[in-house]
Amino acid sequence: MKKILVINSGSSSLKFQLISMPAETILASGLVERIGMEDAKYSFESLKNKDTRVLKIKDHHQALELAAVFLLDIGSGVISSPKEIDAIGHRVVHGGKHFSDTTLITKEIKEKIHQLASLAPLHNPPNLVGIEVAEKIFPDAKQVAVFDTAFHQSIPEKAHRYAIPNELYEKEHIRLYGFHGTSHKYVSEKALTYLNNPNAKIVVLHLGNGCSATAINAGKSVDHSLGFGPLTGLVMGTRSGDIDPAIILYLMETKGYSYQEISNLLNKKSGMLGLTGFSDMREIQKGHEEGNPDCTIALEMNAYRIKKYIGAYAAAMNGLDALVFTAGIGENSSILREMVCSEMDFLGIELNPKKNNSKEKGIREIQTEGSRAKILIVPTNEELEIAKQSFKLIN
């Protein structure tokens, strides 16, 4: 038995799970939000106890120290010493072209993650902070990096290159890298096992605050909606998804927008937030039901963009055996699933409304009996996937 601590370190948050492998038993979990603020919040839960507090948490080091104290606490803890942690699996968003597999973290690996920060400035720096803090608090544990981009290294050159001068590809490594790979890998493996068809052609829709679609043929990622950075593709909570580059040039040339203003506009002020004033899908669905036209058109735009990617990926794979919904919105929004699957019978996609509105948990089918393609809801579990990959690496 090995105890694997999984850490997902964001720009202002830190999420963890302590998992016993290979039994896949969750011993403890927690989330620290609003790090650096006076009213930061942490919520921890173990097999013995729960603890939720609001207090000032100045940095990631303090956040992880609080998690360690909880894990070691006599009343709520599940370990008696930091030495009981065998490995720490870290989610690292951008591995560039260098990492196609999970890897043990060394000084050289940390330097490479640092060098790739320019490709994921909102993600790689806090990922690296999480690694460095964990090394200090759990010095005896093996540190493992699991890269979001790794699953998409199988995307062929014809799909991952952009039609720009060759030197930008060769020297600057500008290409499609893809993200949410840990989730897409976990969900696609679950789906293929459920379908009992390792060669199935499926499209996985990871729909949360960040959204992405992946074409997966026989378990391999062959195309993906997020590209050089996590901004393209589907409409997201605060990110625009696909946009005509001429708009960016127009705003810079005629309106004097700076790089930072463009970045904030497209990453933090666009998507569903820009269209409705809300980034939470529950608020948007409520607005739609109450007749708010902004919420209605936003949902229609969101679904329409998803449908275009489904069609494109079915064409790229020359077929579609299953459409898979996952992540917070994908698993819980029956309204968006219905809008996505409407008028898709040409591709063999026919939704069963009763099954779609069911509150059942776990993997389930929601298509009609006559639907040629399966429609599945498969809950994602990125932390478990990181634990599985870390466990496999250290054994």
Binding site per annotation, positions: 8, 15, 91, 206-210, 280-282, 328-332, 382
Catalytic residue among 148, 223, 242, 345: 148
Q: Transcribe 320-353 into DSSP letters.
A: -SEEEEEHHHHHH-HHHHHHHHTT-GGGT--B-H
375: left (phi over 0), alpha (psi -120 to 50) or beta: beta
Neighbour tally for 218: CB within 10 Å: 13
**Angle at Cα 371 formed by Cα 365 and Cα 368, nearest 5°?**
55
Q: How far apart are CA 371 and CA 353, in angstroms?
A: 13
> Residues within the annotated binding site for ATP?
15, 206-210, 280-282, 328-332
Q: H-helix or E-strand containing 304? A: helix 293-317
The DSSP annotation for 10-40 comes to: -SS-EEEEEEEETTTEEEEEEEEESTTSTTE
Residues shown for the chain: 395
Q: What is the CA radius of gyration of the chain?
A: 21
Annotated binding site for Mg(2+): 8, 382
Query: Is residue 148 among the annotated active site residues?
Result: yes
Residue list, annotated binding site for substrate: 91
- Tokens representing 121 are 């400035």
Residue with tokens 């998804």: 241
Q: Taking Cα atoms as reference points, which of 151, 199, 202 lies closest to residue 178?
A: 151
Contact 32, 13 (CB under 8 A): yes
Strands (E), the chain: 2-9, 14-21, 25-33, 40-46, 50-55, 87-92, 103-104, 142-147, 201-207, 211-217, 220-224, 322-326, 364-365, 374-377
- Are 71 and 39 in contact by the 8 Å Cβ rule? The answer is no
Helices 334-341 and 281-289: crossing angle, nearest 10°?
Answer: 70
- Active-site positions? 148
